[in-house]
Structure formats: structure tokens, C-alpha cells
Amino acid sequence: MGGRNMIVSIANNITSPLGMTTAENYAAVKAGKSALKRYEGHWGLPEAFVASLIDRSNFTDNRYTIVEQTVIHSVAKALESANIDTASPKVLFTLSTTKGNVFLLDKREKVFPQERVRLGMMARQIASYFHNPNEPIVVSNACISGVCAQIEAMRHLERGNYDYVIVSGVDIQSAFIVSGFQSFKALSPEECKPFDANRHGLNLGDAAATIIYTRKDSVSENNWCAYRGAIRNDANHISGPSRTGEGSYRALKYVLGDIDLQKIAFVNAHGTATPYNDEMESIAIDRAGLSNVPVNSLKGYYGHTMGAAGVLETIMSMQAIDDNNILATRGFETLGVSRNINVTNQNQPTEKKAFIKLLSGFGGCNAALLMTKGGLL
């Protein structure tokens, strides 16, 4: 791109119930594995639920909460393949989370000081673990946070405010979050079925995921670039998605600009498998002229990982294209949305080098991110 610096992903990690590295995660998902399981009487909750939960016993450093430990693990793994000095003031930590250490509000929790429930305090634990001198930024925009944090990183790098931005997304499930979604009647009693005619809601999931971005004035064909991102609101309702997909459509329209839609390998949708979300996304995708482009959702493998979702799903999508593959939408059989969009039900080959990550969340917010391999479109 003449005259324009590109924002390039130089390293990443996914820490989830399906693996502690990106490679393990991709291999598991490609093979169709899911970490979704049914939990009864878990955390003293009266109602059973299906979720994808990390084995807490793998995380034994009692100076840090389980949430902080998964992020530290994810950042440390990502840093193994990036030669950068996190103690430099030119490195910024950006955290994407919705509920952080919210479990500390439970009066039975006595191990950690109450101040750690503050997201900024939690982010400081992580930044200071890596000896970073800057005040970390926490982006907390419900389920779209993971894409918002990447957009924030792109902007700071384009502006030259920092040389590297470490974007981590995390949410770890607890009685607080699960009971809340149960009260919303939003959880599926079985493994979720994104975009399917028989979908009955979402599953929740634990994960931490990290992407490290930098700025480059020239890119090679193997570099993944964050090309363009947008955040738009539905201006409709705080918990119900727009019936016209307004915010999602507008975010898509902005990131697509005047590029050739033929170059898009797939849209990795939010695809939570709630009746309203998937219907809304189908409308937005169709309105944006993308109804022939393959659409997938990864919620059937991981559940909805909230603050981690935008980062995790971006990484999985980059891995898939590196493998010339479009991932299947696990749980999807029969199209159950009003627009005739092209949802994948099995892995399929692709030679294309770009994808769109789409997300929507409470508060009427929506985000879209266009990622390209090689930087050119």
C-alpha cells in the first residue's frame, strides 16, 4: 500500500479448553472437536448449563487470579515468537474483557483484595508482570470488546503513539455470568447450533487470546494485516439486536469500502446461536452484499468467550486461511434465518486471502474488522 503504513500481526496465542497454543487450538477445531460439556450443580447453581470451561487446576500461581493467569499465559506464549522488549515505553498493553475478576464480588471469596475486581487494576497486574511501564487500557464494550481492542491498537500504531500493541482478550466464566445469562433465558440446554433452524440459545466459554501488532511500511505476502475496522451502534435497544441489523450493516459497509467482494474468503460471524442475534446478522450480511460469501461461526467449538471472542476468532480465522481452509460451523445443519446466507457446514478449501470478523453485543454495539494476508486488496 503506497504511502500507508500497515498494521501487522506478528505473534498470537489462544489459551482455551481446546489447547494452550494456537496450533493445538487450530488442530482441534479443524478436527471438529468441541470443549462444550454439560455441568450440573456446578458453582452451586441450581440450574444445569452447557459451557466450555478451562481446567482451573492447570493454573497454580496463587498470586494471580485464574483470569489473570490465563492472560499471562497467553501473552507469554505469544511473546515466545515475537522478539520485543515489553519493558519499553513503546509497547502498550490493551486488554479486552467484559467481567474480569467479577467473581471477587462473591462474599465467600477471600483470597484476593477487592480492588482486583477493578478492570484497570487487573490489567496492571498483567502489564507489571511483563515489566511494562505504560498504563494499560481496558476496552469493555460487551461482546464486541475483542475487535474494539484491535481497532484501538490499529489506531495507536497508525498514529505512531506506540511501536507494538499487545492485545489480549479474556473472560473466565463464573456463577455471576452464568446465572445472569440463565435469567435472560439465553442459554441453550444443549450444544449450540449457530444459524440453525433448531437453535435454542448460546453456550458460554472460558478463553484468553493474544495478538501482538506492529506497524510496517512494507509487508510480505505472509504478513497478516489489520486492514480496516469499524464500530457502529444500532440505536435500538440495550439488550435486543436491531431487527434491520443497522449497526452491523453500517460497520460492514465502512470496512468493505469499495473493495472487490470476490476477494473475501469468508465472514466469521458472531453466530451466538440465539434466535435474534443470528437473524440480525443474516440481515446485515445480506444487506452488505455478502450473501454469497461463506459465513461461519466458531461458537460450537468454544461457546461464547465474551471478551476473548473477537481476538480468539480473529486468530482462528487467520490460521484457517494460512491452511487454505474455511472452517465448518459446528452445530449448523439447516438454515434457520430469514436471509439466504451461505453458512458453512463443513471445512472447505479456499485460495482467498482476506476475511471479515463480525461481532455484536449488548448496548447495541457492533464491530467489523477486515483482515488481509499480504496487505493488498
Partner 1 sequence: MTIQHSVYISTDKVIVDGKALELTEKGSALLTQIYRSHIGDYPKFFKMDTLCKLGFVASELLLNSEGNRNFEPREDRAVILFNRNASLQADTNYQSTIQDSENFFPSPAAFVYTLPNIVTGEIAIRNKYYGETSFIVIEENDEKLMEQNLSVAFQDTDTKSIIGGWLDCTDEEHFEANIFIMEK
Partner 2 sequence: MDELIYKLKQEIIEALNLEDMTPEDIDENASLFGEGLGLDSIDALELIVLMEKNYGIKLQDPTQGKEIFKSVKVMAEFIQKNRTK
Residue 138 touching partner 1 (CB under 8 A): yes
Interface stretch with partner 2, choices 106-114, 169-177, 181-189, 261-269 (CB under 8 A): 181-189
- How far is the C-alpha of 271 from the C-alpha of 262, rounded, in Å? 22
Question: Which residues within the stretch 188-227 sit at the binding site for partner 1 (CB under 8 A)?
Answer: none
Among 75, 139, 311, 328, binds partner 1 (CB under 8 A): 139
- How far is the C-alpha of 127 from the C-alpha of 92, rounded, in Å? 9
Residues 6+ apart with CB under 8 A from 36: 50, 51, 52, 191, 192, 203, 205, 300, 301, 303
Is 281 in contact with 358 (CB distance < 8 Å)? yes
Residue 68 touching partner 1 (CB under 8 A): no
Tell me the number of residues near partner 2 by CB under 8 A: 7
| Residue 345 interacts with, from partner 2, partner 1, none (CB under 5-8 Å by kind) | none
| Residue 99 interacts with, from partner 2, partner 1, none (CB under 5-8 Å by kind) | partner 1
Burial pattern 275-287, b for ≥16 Cβ within 10 A else e, equals eebbbbbbbbbbb
Among 234, 279, 286, 313, binds partner 1 (CB under 8 A): 234
Residue 161 touching partner 2 (CB under 8 A): no
| Residue 240 interacts with, from partner 1, partner 2, none (CB under 5-8 Å by kind) | partner 2
| Residue 209 interacts with, from partner 2, partner 1, none (CB under 5-8 Å by kind) | none
Residue 198 touching partner 2 (CB under 8 A): no
The residue written with cell numbers 500500500 in the block is 1
309-322 and 145-159 helices, crossing angle to 10°: 80
CB of 100 to partner 2, least distance (A): 24
CB of 57 to partner 1, least distance (A): 24
119-129 and 66-80 helices, crossing angle to 10°: 40
Give whichever of 160 and 240 is closer to partner 2, judged by the CB atom: 240
Query: What residues are paired with 365 via a beta bridge?
Result: 233, 361
Among 239, 324, 334, 338, binds partner 2 (CB under 8 A): 239
- How far is the C-alpha of 110 from the C-alpha of 265, rounded, in Å? 49
Instruction: Say how many C-beta atoms besides its own lie within 10 A of residue 233's C-beta.
Output: 14
Binding mask 238-277 for partner 1 (x = CB under 8 A): xx------xx--x---x-----------------------
Interface stretch with partner 2, choices 5-13, 168-176, 233-241, 313-321 (CB under 8 A): 233-241
The residue written with cell numbers 492447570 in the block is 58
Residue 99 touching partner 1 (CB under 8 A): yes
Interface stretch with partner 1, choices 58-66, 99-107, 217-225, 317-325 (CB under 8 A): 99-107
Sign of the dihedral defined by the CA atoms of residues 279, 349, 309, 52, in that order:
positive
CA distances from 290 to 147, 172, 287 (A): 20, 33, 7
Among 32, 155, 243, 289, binds partner 1 (CB under 8 A): 155
- How far is the C-alpha of 260 from the C-alpha of 28, rounded, in Å? 32
Residue 119 touching partner 1 (CB under 8 A): yes
62 conformational bin, left if phi > 0, alpha if psi -120 to 50, beta if neither: alpha
Among 38, 56, 159, 237, binds partner 2 (CB under 8 A): 237
Interface stretch with partner 1, choices 182-190, 199-207, 325-333, 334-342 (CB under 8 A): 182-190
CB of 19 to partner 1, least distance (A): 29
Is 317 in contact with 309 (CB distance < 8 Å)? no
Instruction: Say how many C-beta atoms besides its own lie within 10 A of residue 197's C-beta.
Output: 11
Among 41, 62, 235, 351, binds partner 1 (CB under 8 A): 235
| Residue 176 interacts with, from partner 1, partner 2, none (CB under 5-8 Å by kind) | partner 1
CB of 294 to partner 2, least distance (A): 32
Cell numbers of 276, please?
435474534
Q: Which residues bind partner 2 (CB under 8 A)?
A: 183-185, 237-240
